[in-house]
Structure 1
Amino acid sequence: MDIPWEDVRLFLAVAETGSLSGAARRLRIGQPTVSRRLAALEYTLGAALFRRGVEGASLTSAGERLLGPAKKMAEWAGEVGRAVESSDRSPRGLVRITATPFQSFDFLAPFGAWLAGKHPGLRLEVLSSIQYLDLNRGEADLALRAKAPTQEGLKEVLVLEFENAVFVSKSLAAKLPRKPSLAELPWIAWAPPFDMVPPNPQLEELIPGFTPAFTSDNYLVQLAAAEAGLGAMVMARNRHRFSRPSSLVPLPIDLGPYQRSSLYLVCAKSALDIPRVRRVSELLVSELEKVGASSSS
């Protein structure tokens, strides 16, 4: 029995988002279309793949058996797509980069503006996300991540070591003790469903009974709150030539084991065979190496 890739892709979207509406958003099609195509797939297979309920869609035993092969098929579809694109020898077109909200806002957005001026044939699409997108499947071409790649088929293009610091507004700094402790600070942190995203777990480890003064699920809202003097944020201390002016100032506070962090530029190994991806990767490496050099000097 031949199952078209588009049907497998739809099955995976429902399985991984946990609902038909989530799959519709991921695939950018209507929910009735998802429901109709899923019903047709289940009819073809002669088995229900999901149990539908008010809380979403959960896999049946038949769905569980299909999940592993479907994920492999998605990875091979990404590999096929990269093989086709590698035949285009011109470094032109769209390159998709996924990164944290901070890296997307602080570095990739101004980098994109510089790239458009220097290399008008290249375009960036920045996918700001807390979750890791699957590079093997082709959900993005490049990624800036806080952890080294462990998935087979991925390549670590560059690792950058940098220093973290606690930042507050000048108005808040004037109200604090000269050398405040971590526990004395009003903190700005992630709200659910991102409350396990750094620096929340690290602050919980360092501060007994950690309770933020302000939380948000949006990085830019957190940054606006810090600039308004509402609290402190842990941010990378390194500066780069695209850095925007900031009213925040670092405090002389030791973050212990979290004083330093790493940033990894990652891609699928075969993605570097695509000229436009390779060129953007090279430009990113050049800029990030300058950041590393300035941080160590």
Structure 2
Amino acid sequence: MGLAWDDVQLFLAIAETGSLSAASKRLKVGQPTVSRRLADLEYRLGAQLFQRQVAGAVLTSAGERLLEPARHMAEWAAEVERAAELTGSAPGPRGVVRVTAAPGMAFEFVAPLAAVVRERYPELRLEVLSAVERLDLTRGEADLALRLQPVISNELVVLGSVTAPNAVMVAKSYAARLPRRPKLHELDWIAWSPPFDDVPPNPQLKSLIPDFRPVFTSDNYLVQWRACEAGLGAMIFGRVRYRFSLFSKLVPLDIDLGPHGQSTTHLVCAKSALALPRVRAVADLILEEFTRPTRL
């Protein structure tokens, strides 16, 4: 039997999110609809694709066989959409460009960049995706990504990178309570909470501080930043500010972060998306801003 693209999207949403409820959020439909459509798909295939468990939905052997071909189909569907856009596109950049970035980068860099984009290209609009989870550029889940990790894929390209030193940052009120030359383990740390406790800089701090235990955690970057500004503890920030960055109330401490003393942000794009005028225009603006950051 032939599988419709809607069926493949449904299957992938459940397989990759691990539950029917999470898949319903991704697909923007109700959970009963997801359950009904899955039951219909399994009936037509004559095979069970998932084992329903308390913790979620787990792939069966039949589902495992379907997973990689479904992922390839999703990538090709994105390629078809890009080719169709090029075929029918009017001259000049227009439409929506989806940029994914870590919460801090999205807040401090990408959001204000939207004003620059709007001024330069009135018919362009940014959609900023700041979730911690990595989105798949080859499948069109986003057009551009700002990532700390290097790219390992023949379908992706790094358009440019910016490297900045990292620093331990605190409020002046908190700095006044510290010894003259504090050590990492003497600081009260503000960090990510579950389910994001493996997001940087948590792993780096764990590697530097035995028995690392933050004094405050949150799953929201802005909440962490606000707690730091209030004098609750310390955070690690890149010591670079762009021309439209917010003025920070935080000050750096003279502490060596060892192998984690700097970080590099890469601008990544699917190769096939670069031909789209809307994507190329935003990528060029990001690269333009990359060339003129100022160190704190």
TM-score range, shorter chain: over 0.9
Deviation of 1:142 (Å): 0.2
- Paired letter, 1:166: V
> What is the aligned partner in structure 1 of residue 45 from structure 2?
45
Deviation of 1:32 (Å): 1.2
> What is the aligned partner in structure 2 of residue 102 from structure 1?
104
Deviations 1:204-253 (A, max 9, x none): 11111211111111111101110110000001110110110111111111
Q: What residue ranges of structure 1 are gaps of 5+ in the alignment?
A: none
Three-state SS of the structure 1 residue aligned to 2:14 is helix
Aligned length: 294
Matched, 1:126 2:128: yes
Three-state SS of the structure 1 residue aligned to 2:170 is strand
Three-state SS of the structure 1 residue aligned to 2:241 is coil
- Paired letter, 1:146: L
CA distance in 2, matches of 1:82, 1:147: 25
Write out aligned runs for 1:52-201 (5 A): 52-87=52-87, 88=89, 89-201=91-203
Three-state SS of the structure 2 residue aligned to 1:290 is coil
Deviations 1:133-184 (A, max 9, x none): 0000000000000011112300111111111101000100111112211111
- Tell me the TM-score normalized by structure 2: 0.97
Deviation of 1:116 (Å): 1.6
Three-state SS of the structure 2 residue aligned to 1:198 is coil
Are the aligned partners of 2:189 and 2:235 in contact in 1 as well (CA < 8 Å)? Answer: yes
- Paired letter, 1:57: A
CA distance in 2, matches of 1:70, 1:131: 20
CA distance in 1, matches of 2:15, 2:33: 16
Q: What residue ranges of structure 2 are gaps of 5+ in the alignment?
A: none
Deviation of 1:113 (Å): 2.0
CA RMSD of aligned residues (A): 1.2
Are the aligned partners of 2:93 and 2:121 in contact in 1 as well (CA < 8 Å)? Answer: no
Q: Percent identity?
A: 61
- Tell me the TM-score normalized by structure 1: 0.97
- Paired letter, 1:202: Q
**Please, which moves more after superposition, 114-123 or 155-164?**
114-123
Picking from 238, 252, 255, the partner of 2:254 is 252
Matched, 1:31 2:13: no
- Paired letter, 2:207: E
Q: Give the 4+ runs in structure 1 shifted more than 2 A.
A: none
CA distance in 1, matches of 2:272, 2:209: 44
- Paired letter, 1:172: Y
Write out aligned runs for 1:182-261 (5 A): 182-261=184-263
- Paired letter, 2:149: K
Deviation of 1:90 (Å): 2.5
CA distance in 1, matches of 2:154, 2:43: 34
> What is the aligned partner in structure 1 of residue 280 from structure 2?
278
Matched, 1:6 2:6: yes
> What is the aligned partner in structure 2 of residue 288 from structure 1?
290
CA distance in 1, matches of 2:59, 2:207: 36
Deviation of 1:192 (Å): 0.8
CA distance in 2, matches of 1:96, 1:45: 35
Deviations 1:236-295 (A, max 9, x none): 11011011011111111111111111100001001011100000000110001212xx44
